[in-house]
Amino acid sequence: MPKIIPAYLTFIIIFSISILFVKGQVVFSQENTQEASNTFPLTDSSADDEGGFEDEFEDEFEDEFADSGQEVFDPLSGYNRVMTGFNDGFYFFVLDPVARGYRWVLPDMARRGVKNFFHNILFPLRFVNNALQLKAKNAGEEFLRFSINSTIGILGFWDPAKDLFGLEAHEEDFGQTLGYYGVGGGFHVVLPFLGPSNLRDMFSLYPDMQMDPVNYVEKRPYNFPKQEGEYLGVSRPTLQALEMKLFKTVNNESLRIGQYENLKKDAIELYPFLRDVYEQNRAKLIRE
Amino acid sequence: MQASKKIIINMLLVAIFSFSLGTTFLFADEVSEIREMTKEKVDHVIITLKDDKLNKEEKKEEILKTIDGLFDFNLMARLSLGKKFWKKLSSEGRNEFTELFVEKLKQSYLDKLDLYTDEEVVVDEAKLIKKKRVEVLTYLVSKDDKMEMTYKLYKTKKNVWMVYDVDVLGVSIVQTYRSQFSGVLKKESLEKLIERLRSSAELGS
């Protein structure tokens, strides 16, 4: 018994002391800051109250963000700028008008269905990359999603896995897998039509493509023999895969009309802005 | 001797345990309060957007009023420019930059609300990052998409918690402006940058 009582007592005592200590510290630090600003009056007295931070506090914030003088390694910046301009023009003069026309023709539900369908058949990519990153639970959920959506969801046009079972998709691609194992992004590259990318993600496009069933599409009306030969120097299967991709792009774009324009409003200079947004977003996706 | 040693060690362990427990409890309370406050404001924005009785201008006014107490726009302006450049500005320059930047930030926020259709905001957990930093994780959920937004708050000198940055899909607003400004300022003067902000503000309104 006597052994328990002191332990119990110390618990209460230390608990209350710790609360006092923390509260006291907060109060103390506040007094401290006020003192600091009193003894060192700011040179510009016109700065309002919110602006009058002491240096120490400011530095704490500064540390959270990348150094403003930091140079980004960007050997292709000249080319990247030009390509950003090209892609931007392509979006405004081709993709956006086409997507708007497409939206006018097809009802919302149909376009969502098409999006779901393309998303569903991309299952191998997500499954393999979740597995490669040893995310067993996510890979399992992806497998379940594919099974449910391909059957109950009628070839993936609906998403009952999410709507009924609450299973969310876990987007992973090969670039994220490489990043997960510590491969850096390398310098930034803007790809024609595809937009912002970097060295790592650019090379990852190839394995990603291998896992996208769209690239194995063959148009064979009824049971006619396979179409061989070339058209304008491109083999027919490649051309058909491109057709499918174009359809997918226009369809998905029709569901997010206006978003790019809106994002662009935050840009002071388009290229560095888009580069930064891309790299920050990729870094986050890899962290997860 | 042996027994008393044991008691001392036990007491020490309990002491360490209860100390950490005490501090966590204290902060946990405050953190959940911050979460509630953020949730209240964000919910209010959504309610305003859904209100059919208000016209577009009234909605904008109401929303700006709601977020004014939550966002520390002045600090966001300072952080976006960065300490190095901020120090170079005169007090009039600082005021002008802050005014123009805040205007731009608010305008871009309101423009984004134009895309609003049927999204709901789910306020997830709030995390204590440092003694005076809390991050509130939220999701903007639409029919087929889920967008992660993290509100980063700090404790002001007046003991109020205010937002100093927002991460949208991992992209920090302050960081994005910061790298853009430093990129522009490598080639141009501060005056020219302010000039640019001024002309873009005139174009936007």
Lowest-pLDDT range, A37-46, A201-210, B193-202? A37-46
Indicate whether A118 belongs to any domain. yes
Give the minimum alpha-carbon distance from B105 to chain A in angstroms, rounded to a whole number.
Answer: 8
Is residue A185 predicted with pLDDT exceeding 80? yes
Residue range A198-219, pLDDT digits in tens: 999 999 999 999 999 888 877 6
Q: How far is residue A117 CA from its own chain's centroid? A: 21
Q: Do A17 and A89 belong to one domain? A: no
Q: Which residues of A touch B107 (CB under 8 A)?
A: 265
Is residue A127 predicted with pLDDT exceeding 90? yes
- Check residue A51 and give its pLDDT: 44
- Check residue A214 and give its pLDDT: 85
Q: Do A88 and A56 belong to one domain? A: no
- Check residue A45 and give its pLDDT: 36
- Check residue A97 and give its pLDDT: 96
- Quote the CA–CA distance of A47 and A30 in Å, as a whole number: 20
In total, chain A counts a number of residues equal to 288
Is residue A220 predicted with pLDDT exceeding 70? no
Q: Is there a contact between B22 and A112 if contact means CB atoms under 8 Å apart?
A: no
Of B86, B115, B84, nearest in space to B98 by CA: B86
Write b or e for each residue in A69-101: b if 16 or more Cβ atoms lie within 10 A of its Cβ, otherwise e.
Answer: eeeeeeeebeebbebbeebbeebeeebbeebee
Supply the range of the domain harboring residue A87.
77-287
pTM here? 0.78
Selection from A145-154, A256-265, B48-57, B60-69 with the highest mean pLDDT: A145-154
Is residue B20 predicted with pLDDT exceeding 60? yes
- Check residue A44 and give its pLDDT: 39
Q: Do A27 and A104 belong to one domain? A: no
Q: Do A147 and A111 belong to one domain? A: yes
- Check residue A60 and give its pLDDT: 74
A1–B contact, CB cutoff 8 A: no
How many Cβ atoms sit within 10 Å of the Cβ of residue B74?
21
Q: Do A105 and A52 belong to one domain? A: no
Lowest-pLDDT range, A238-242, B122-126, B148-152? A238-242
Would you place residue A221 in the very low, low, confident or very high pLDDT band (cuts 50, 70, 90)?
Answer: low
Q: Is there a contact between A159 and B144 if contact means CB atoms under 8 Å apart?
A: yes
- Check residue B14 and give its pLDDT: 75
Give the minimum alpha-carbon distance from B22 to chain A in angstroms, rounded to a whole number.
Answer: 5
Q: Do A137 and A261 belong to one domain? A: yes
Selection from A168-172, B35-39, B143-147 with the highest mean pLDDT: A168-172
- Check residue A134 and give its pLDDT: 95
Higher pLDDT among residues B200 and A195, named by residue: A195
B84–A contact, CB cutoff 8 A: yes
Q: Do A245 and A179 belong to one domain? A: yes
Of A119, A118, A133, A123, nearest in space to A211 by CA: A123
Is residue B72 predicted with pLDDT exceeding 70? yes
- Check residue B125 and give its pLDDT: 86
Please report, as a single letter, which amino acid is at residue A285: L
Compute the mean pLDDT over every residue in chain A, rounded to the nearest whole number: 81
- Quote the CA–CA distance of A83 and A90 in Å, as a whole number: 10
Select from A3, A115, A265 the Cβ nearest to the Cβ of B111: A265
Q: Do A41 and A163 belong to one domain? A: no
**Which of A64, A97, A116 is the C-terminal boundary of a domain?**
A64
Q: Do A53 and A83 belong to one domain? A: no
Q: Is there a contact between A280 and B172 if contact means CB atoms under 8 Å apart?
A: yes
Residue range B84-110, pLDDT digits in tens: 888 888 888 899 999 999 998 888 888
Which helix (H) or strand (E) is A196 found in, with range? strand A195-198
Select from A51, A159, A258 the Cβ nearest to the Cβ of B74: A51
- Quote the CA–CA distance of B67 and B162 in Å, as a whole number: 10
Q: What percent of chain A has pLDDT over 70?
A: 74
Q: Do A40 and A152 belong to one domain? A: no
Give the minimum alpha-carbon distance from A135 to chain B in angstroms, rounded to a whole number.
Answer: 20
Select from B19, B146, B182 the Cβ nearest to the Cβ of A69: B182
B74: domain CATH number is 3.10.450.710
Q: Hey, what long-range contacts does B97-104 have (CB within 8 A, 24 or more apart)? A: B97/B194, B97/B197, B98/A51, B98/B73, B98/B74, B100/B194, B100/B197, B100/B198, B100/B201, B101/B76, B101/B77, B101/B177, B101/B197, B102/B73, B102/B74, B102/B76, B102/B77, B103/B201, B104/B197, B104/B200, B104/B201, B104/B204
Q: Do A129 and A243 belong to one domain? A: yes
B203–A contact, CB cutoff 8 A: no
Indicate whether A33 belongs to any domain. yes
Q: Structural domain tally of chain A?
A: 2
Supply the range of the domain harboring residue B100.
2-204
Indicate whether A70 belongs to any domain. no
Q: Which residues, in sequence order, are CB contacts of A288 under 8 Å at separation 6+?
A: none
- Check residue A274 and give its pLDDT: 94
Q: Structural domain tally of chain B?
A: 1
Lowest-pLDDT range, A229-243, B26-40, B107-121? A229-243
Give the minimum alpha-carbon distance from A160 to chain B in angstroms, rounded to a whole number.
Answer: 12
Indicate whether A69 belongs to any domain. no
Contact A275, A196 (CB under 8 A): yes
Sheet holding B120-130, edge to edge: B120-130, B133-141, B146-155, B161-168, B171-172
- Check residue A140 and give its pLDDT: 95
Whole-angstrom Cα Rg for chain B: 22
Contact A266, B174 (CB under 8 A): no
Residue range A91-108, pLDDT digits in tens: 999 999 999 999 999 999
